[in-house]
Amino acid sequence: MTLAATAQQTQGFLSPSGVEIAFVLVGLVTLGAALVTVVTRQLVHAALWLVVALGGLAVEYLLLTAEFIAWVQVLIYVGSVVVLLLFGLMLTRAPIGRSPDADSGNRPVALAVALTAAAALVWVVVDAFRTTWIDLDGAVQGSTEVTGAVLFRHWVLPFEALSVLLLAALVGAIVLSRKKEQER
């Protein structure tokens, strides 16, 4: 075996492939969009930056060759949740521009809580998957077969509960907008 063939087989951390570079770049854009979503003071802009962040996650799933999960991300989160959020903003007559109600002045406390929650989340994920090994001989982990089996075995009830919650939020937004019209 030649030296070039050996170097080609052992892709290491210091010699990333194009997919890995694209993954990091898209991840940075997604992280930036998520940060802008949180720190912006305009509600509609926050919802639109949330679309960018969720779309970036879908691209990350595509780069990980989990096409089914990527399309679920686009259809459910970008196509439904954000649209529902925008309809809620429109129906409740939320302010379009800067909103003084969106900023309470508790940014240091909110930052401390966010950093604590992020540290706890990282700790839990690392601890939960420390001894997890991926079976390379089994079905591909991002495949539709494996994903469907896991979803329909363990996650049917949470998905249904979430759909009822989103429907209740939409009905609540409609009720709130109708009360304001009747008061006029």
Return the DSSP state at 42: B
C-alpha to C-alpha distance for 158 and 164, rounded to whole angstroms: 10
User: What residue has token string 């009822």?
Assistant: 164
Name the percent of the chain lying above pLDDT 90: 22
Q: Is this prediction's pTM over 0.85?
A: no
Burial letters for 12-49: b for 16+ Cβ neighbours within 10 Å, e otherwise? eeeeeeeeeeebeebeeebeebbebbeebeebbebbbb
C-alpha to C-alpha distance for 89 and 172, rounded to whole angstroms: 12
* Distance of alpha carbon 107 from the chain centroid: 23
pLDDT in tens, 124-141: 988 888 887 766 676 666
Mean pLDDT of the chain, nearest integer: 79
pLDDT of 97 higher than 70: no
pLDDT tier at 42 (50, 70, 90 boundaries)?
confident
Cβ contacts of 22 within 8 Å, gap of 6 or more: 63
pLDDT tier at 103 (50, 70, 90 boundaries)?
low
Return the DSSP state at 15: S
C-alpha to C-alpha distance for 62 and 70, rounded to whole angstroms: 6
